[in-house]
């Protein structure tokens, strides 16, 4: 079962994080960690994110690592190297966690 996440669902119109439930906060931390890892290394085809599978929810026990890749412009795909967990993240570009270098004028 793939988790489709839209980063904007967690943000208000100004890009600030909404009041989140504890569960949503945990997921959001997981997603933003992937976004910053990918956007820092956008040239690389596959990134090993410094995250364990179980960090996306409290009741999970999988100790697998997370690998992520930018599959198309603005869409990140991630998966666990141990279990079936996977998902996508959209609408992350331009967010606070987008670490892509910008052209400085």
Interface with Zn ion (CB under 5 A): 53, 62, 64, 80, 82-83, 85
How many CA atoms lie less than 13 Å away from 104 in the CB half-sphere?
Answer: 1
- Least CB distance to Zn ion at residue 80 (A): 3
- Least CB distance to Zn ion at residue 73 (A): 27
- Least CB distance to Zn ion at residue 43 (A): 26
Distances (CA, A) of 98 to 17, 19, 104: 14, 21, 16
The residue among 29 and 99 lying less far from Zn ion, judged by its C-beta, is 29
Question: Tokens 């993240």 appear where?
Answer: 89
């Amino acid at each position: 079962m793939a988790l489709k996440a839209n980063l904007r669902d967690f943000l208000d119109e100004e890009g600030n994080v909404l009041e989140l439930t504890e569960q949503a906060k945990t997921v959001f931390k997981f997603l933003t960690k992937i976004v910053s890892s990918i956007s820092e290394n956008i040239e690389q085809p596959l990134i090993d994110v410094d995250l364990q599978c179980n960090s996306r929810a409290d009741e999970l026990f999988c100790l697998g690592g997370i690998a992520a890749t930018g599959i198309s412009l603005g869409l990140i795909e991630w998966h666990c190297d141990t279990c079936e967990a996977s998902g996508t993240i959209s609408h992350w570009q331009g967010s606070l966690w987008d670490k892509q270098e910008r052209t400085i004028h």
